[in-house]
Amino acid sequence: MSKFKVAVIGGGTMGNGIAHVFALNGYNVVLVDVSEEALQRALATIEKNLRRQAKKGIIQEADIQAALNRITTFTSIEDAVKDVKLVVEAVPENKQLKLNIFKKLDQNAPVDAILASNTSSIPITELASATSRPAKVIGMHFMNPVPVMKLVEVIRAYQTDDETTKFVFETAKDLGKVPVEVNDYPGFISNRVLIPMINEAIYALWEGVAGVEEIDTVMKLGMNHPMGPLHLADFIGLDVVLAILEVLYEGFKQDKYAPCPLLVNMVRAGKLGIKTGEGFYVYNGKEKEVSPAFRK
Ligand code: NAI
């Protein structure tokens, strides 16, 4: 039995994962991206990830095609959102782009449709203000990789009403996720707590308190974190870590959020972590070793 229709805007890292979990859980999904190539890439990734889940016995073989059949693709928002109940926006982290998209969604989606953003750091309250339905705008912050990670941070804008929050909570639970309600302040909870910890680890490295592996080992073995903070920074992308710190620094105007100059330099040098092959570590396929810049 199929459920309500949901639109996912942007089929990149997060968007294809979001479309994947909705389709797998019986929702009809319209997936929107800027080009046919981007959409084909997204569908290929979804198929690959569904196959991996089937191989691991998490889903049945038959679920793969059933989920794929529930996804239709569009290159224009106008046509895609006409009859949806929920939209989840997952385009790149650029405020002006998201404001434009929220205006377009507001003009084209049914008046009672809920408009959610997967943003990591842009104020939901500001996105809500760009629409004529601010009470129906909310943050639905999935974690990467979406099919695996249980948490959905549900971010209430200043204007979000209870009905919208409840609807999104129930939807997240129906996807097998665990929703947590958070108010709209810089970094929400996830990034407000995580990113300053990573920044502190980078400061400790910069000040020579310990080396890359030592810092990561202390946090892994001492605190039971699955990944050390420097490895995690490479995984997230150092440019993304810096951008979120800047949001926290701007938002709170407190020195404790000031980005470490080493992080700023690494971003300037294009050493962004796994996606560029080098950050605190250098990556060669699945292997990693400490970057020559930090070897003793
Ligand atoms: P991405 O760059 O992998 O994907 C963005 C997608 O949006 C691309 O496929 C791009 O072609 C598409 N796009 C660009 N302009 C568009 C438009 N006008 N209409 C439709 N599609 C458009 O980005 P990613 O990593 O998936 O991030 C998306 C959002 O999710 C961002 O707001 C980010 O902050 C947030 N986020 C990212 C996480 C991550 O680990 N990557 C974790 C949690 C949230």
pLDDT, one tens digit per residue, over 269-283 is 999 999 999 999 999
Q: How high is the pLDDT of residue 58?
A: 96
Task: Tell me, yes or no, if 225 is annotated catalytic.
Answer: no
pLDDT band with cut points at 50, 70 and 90 for residue 296: confident
Mean pLDDT of 97-108: 98
**What is the residue-wise DSSP string for 167-213?**
HHHHHHHHTT-EEEEEESSTTTTHHHHHHHHHHHHHHHHHTTSS-HH
Task: Tell me, yes or no, if 118 is annotated catalytic.
Answer: no
Lookup result for tokens 């292997």:
287
Q: Is 1.10.1040.10 the CATH classification of the domain at 190-294?
A: yes
pLDDT band with cut points at 50, 70 and 90 for residue 222: very high
Q: List residues bridging with 86 in a β-sheet.
A: 6, 114
258 half-sphere exposure, CB direction, 13 A CA radius: 7
Mean pLDDT, the chain, whole residue set: 97
Q: How high is the pLDDT of residue 285?
A: 86
For the cut 80, the answer to whether the pLDDT of residue 4 exceeds it is yes
Q: How high is the pLDDT of residue 77?
A: 97
Mean pLDDT of 59-85: 97
CB–CB of 169/186 below 8 Å? no
pLDDT, one tens digit per residue, over 10-51 is 999 999 999 999 999 999 999 999 999 999 999 999 999 999
Which residues lie closer than 8 Å to 118 by C-beta, 6 or more apart? 14, 15, 18, 88, 89, 90, 139, 140, 141, 142
Is residue 144 in contact with ligand 1, taking CB distance under 6 Å? yes
Q: How far is the CA of 221 from the centre of ligand 1 (A)?
A: 33
Which residues lie closer than 8 Å to 147 by C-beta, 6 or more apart? 17, 20, 21, 24, 49, 53
pLDDT, one tens digit per residue, over 153-179 is 999 999 999 999 999 999 999 999 999
Task: Tell me, yes or no, if 94 is annotated catalytic.
Answer: no
Is residue 219 in contact with ligand 1, taking CB distance under 6 Å? no
Mean pLDDT of 53-59: 97
For the cut 60, the answer to whether the pLDDT of residue 69 exceeds it is yes
Mean pLDDT of 83-97: 96
Mean pLDDT of 67-71: 98
Q: Pick the residue whose CA is nearest to atom 15 on ligand 1.
A: 91
For the cut 60, the answer to whether the pLDDT of residue 134 exceeds it is yes
Which residues lie closer than 8 Å to 84 by C-beta, 6 or more apart? 4, 5, 6, 7, 30, 109, 110, 113
Is residue 17 in contact with ligand 1, taking CB distance under 6 Å? no
Q: How high is the pLDDT of residue 286?
A: 84
Does the fold of domain 190-294 match that of domain 6-183? Answer: no
Q: Which of 89, 117, 121, 153 is catalytic?
A: 153
CB–CB of 182/188 below 8 Å? yes
Is residue 134 in contact with ligand 1, taking CB distance under 6 Å? no
Angle at the Cα of 254 from the Cα atoms of 239 and 220, rounded to 5 degrees: 55
Q: How far apart are CA 28 and CA 56, in angstroms?
A: 25
Q: Which of 16, 108, 117, 141 is catalytic?
A: 141
- Domain ranges for the chain: 6-183, 190-294
Lookup result for tokens 């490295």:
205
Percent of the chain with pLDDT over 70: 99
Nearest alpha carbon to residue 126 among 86, 160, 154, 92: 160
Mean pLDDT of 225-247: 96
Q: Is 261 exposed, middle or buried (0-12, 13-18, 19+ CB in 10 A)?
A: exposed
Q: How far apart are CA 16 and CA 14, in angstroms?
A: 6
Radius of gyration over alpha carbons of the chain, in Å?
A: 20
Number of Cβ atoms within 10 Å of the Cβ of 178: 12
Which residues lie closer than 8 Å to 100 by C-beta, 6 or more apart? none
Q: Is 3.30.1330.60 the CATH classification of the domain at 6-183?
A: no
In eight-state DSSP terms, residue 144 is S
For the cut 90, the answer to whether the pLDDT of residue 232 exceeds it is yes
Q: How high is the pLDDT of residue 2?
A: 55
Q: Is 154 exposed, middle or buried (0-12, 13-18, 19+ CB in 10 A)?
A: buried
For the cut 80, the answer to whether the pLDDT of residue 54 exceeds it is yes
Mean pLDDT of 220-229: 98
For the cut 80, the answer to whether the pLDDT of residue 1 exceeds it is no
Task: Tell me, yes or no, if 141 is annotated catalytic.
Answer: yes
